[in-house]
Amino acid sequence: MSHADPAAALNGAQTGHICSGCNKGIRTGDQLHAYATLYEGDGWVLRRIWCDECGDTAIESGTFGADEATLSAIFWNHRLVGVQITDRSRPEDGERV
Ligand SMILES: [Zn+2]
């Protein structure tokens, strides 16, 4: 599943509830934004979450070799539901490091 759809892969994924931008707690029913990466051989991994006010909805500069996605979702009992992809950077895009 190296290139599985991140929305499908992360729907229902467990997540923390502290915004990476303002440290506010995100509550059940709130919208949040998240950033996730996929490297060859691993599944999608959530890297950061933000509350609705701080959320990043676009990837500024992609990382070469990584599949990256930003997404919006509803926070529900420490899980993501209703995941929607807001931006995507494919492994062949972005800057070599
Ligand atoms: Zn925030």
Give this prediction's pTM. Answer: 0.88
CA of 26 to the centre of ligand 1 (A): 8
CA of 20 to the centre of ligand 1 (A): 6
CA of 74 to the centre of ligand 1 (A): 14
Pairing of strands 31-39, 66-76: antiparallel
Taking residues 26-50, report their average pLDDT.
93
Average pLDDT, the chain: 90
* pLDDT value, residue 55: 82
* pLDDT value, residue 73: 97
